[in-house]
Amino acid sequence: MDPVLALVIFVVVFAFVFDYTNGFHDAANAIATSVATRALTPRVALLMAAVMNFIGALLGTGVAETIGSGIVEVAPSDGISGLLVVIAGLVGAVVWNLTTWWFGLPSSSSHALIGGLAGAGLAAAFTVHWSVIGMKVIVPMFVSPFVGFGLAYLLMSLIRRTFQNATYKTTMKRFRVAQTVPAAAVALGHGLQDAQKTMGVIVIALVAGGYHEGSSVPLWVKLGAATAISLGTYSGGWRIMKTLGTKIADLNPAQGFAAEAVAASVLYTTAYFWHAPISTTHTITSSVMGVGATTRRSAVRWSTAGNIVGAWFITFPAAGLVAAAVSYVLHLFV
C-alpha cells in the first residue's frame, strides 16, 4: 500500500478515536445538571445526549472549515510531513483528554485539539495562523466563561424574582420537566461544535494526502464523526459528570434549567455567526457557577472551580507541548 494512503487511513481512524474520547470526556456537559437534579436518569440522559450529538454534528460545517483551513497551513505537497503534523496534534489532544478525564477535570477538548495542532505545526516549521487562533480560540476562551457566568446569573435572578411567590415544590417539579429541553439543546450544540472539529482534522489529512481540495467536508466524514462522538457520549464520562453536577454547586432544577439554556444559546451563537470553535466545557461550567452564585457566594465551591479554571489555562500549551515533542520525534524519521 502507498505509504501516504496508509497514513491518511491511520489519521482518519485516529481522528475518530479522538472524537470518541471527546464524546465520553464531554458527555457531562449536556447532562450532568439534569442527572444531578434528577430530571433524567443517567442512562436516559446519556441516550438523549448521544442522539442529539449525532444530529447536531450534521447541522453545519462552519467550525469544521475553521479547523480545516485556519489553524495550520497544510498543502497536498506536504504529503507525509503534513500527515505527521496531524497525527502529533491528535496525540497531544488525546493525551490531555485522558489525563483530565482521569482526574475528573472538565477541561476543553477543543482547546486540546487546537493546541495540539498548533504545537505540532510549530515544531515541524509549518505555518501556524496565530491571528485566527487569537480571534477564534484565545479571545472566546477568555470571553465565553464571563458571558456564560453573567448571562446565567441574570437569567437565574430573573427566574427567582418571577417565581418568588410560587409554591417551591410545584415550581421545582415543573422545572425538572422543563430542564430536559435545554439539556437536549446543549447536547445538540456539543455535536454542532465538537464533532465538527474532528471533521476539520480529517479534511486537513485528506488535503495533505492529495485526496481532497478546499475546506468542504465530505458526507462520509460528517457521518463518521457524528457516529464516533455519539458512541463516546453514550459510553459515559462519570468522573467528570460527578464534578460538574455536584462538586461545583448543588443545583436545583430551576438552576439546572437556567445553566443549560444559557450554555446552549452561547454554543449556537458562536457556531453559526462566528464559526468559532468555542469550548462547550467552559461554557456550561461557567454557567453552573453563575446560577450557583445567585443563591449565595458560598454556594459555589470556589476551590474546585479554581482547579478547573487552572486546567483551562494550561490545556492549550500542555497539549501543544506534547504534540510538539511527538511531531519533532516523528519528523526525525522522515
Say what the pTM is.
0.78
Q: Which three cell numbers stand for residue 70?
A: 485556519
Q: What single DSSP character describes residue 211?
A: S
Q: 264: closest CA among 284, 244, 293?
A: 284
Report how far apart, in Å, the C-alpha atoms of 29 and of each of 22, 65, 204, 332 are.
Answer: 11, 24, 27, 39
Query: Where is 40: in which H helix or E strand?
Result: none
pLDDT in tens, the chain (334 residues): 688 888 899 999 988 988 888 787 666 666 777 777 777 777 788 888 889 889 988 887 777 777 766 688 877 666 788 889 889 999 998 888 788 777 766 677 778 888 999 999 899 888 888 888 888 778 877 787 888 889 999 999 999 999 988 888 888 888 888 888 888 888 888 888 788 888 988 988 888 888 888 778 899 999 999 999 898 888 765 555 555 545 555 678 888 889 889 988 888 787 777 666 677 777 877 888 888 888 776 666 666 666 667 767 788 888 999 999 999 998 887 6
Q: How far is CA 295 from the centre of its chain?
A: 28
Phi, psi of 49 (to 5 degrees): -65, -40
- Burial class from Cβ neighbours inside 10 Å (0-12, 13-18, 19+) for residue 297 reads exposed
Please report which residue ranges of the chain form alpha helices under DSSP H: 3-36, 42-57, 62-70, 79-102, 109-123, 130-133, 139-162, 168-178, 180-190, 196-208, 219-234, 238-242, 253-269, 280-293, 302-331
Residue carrying the nine cell digits 472539529? 197
* Four-residue CA torsion sign, 72, 74, 80, 81: negative
Phi, psi of 74 (to 5 degrees): -125, 135
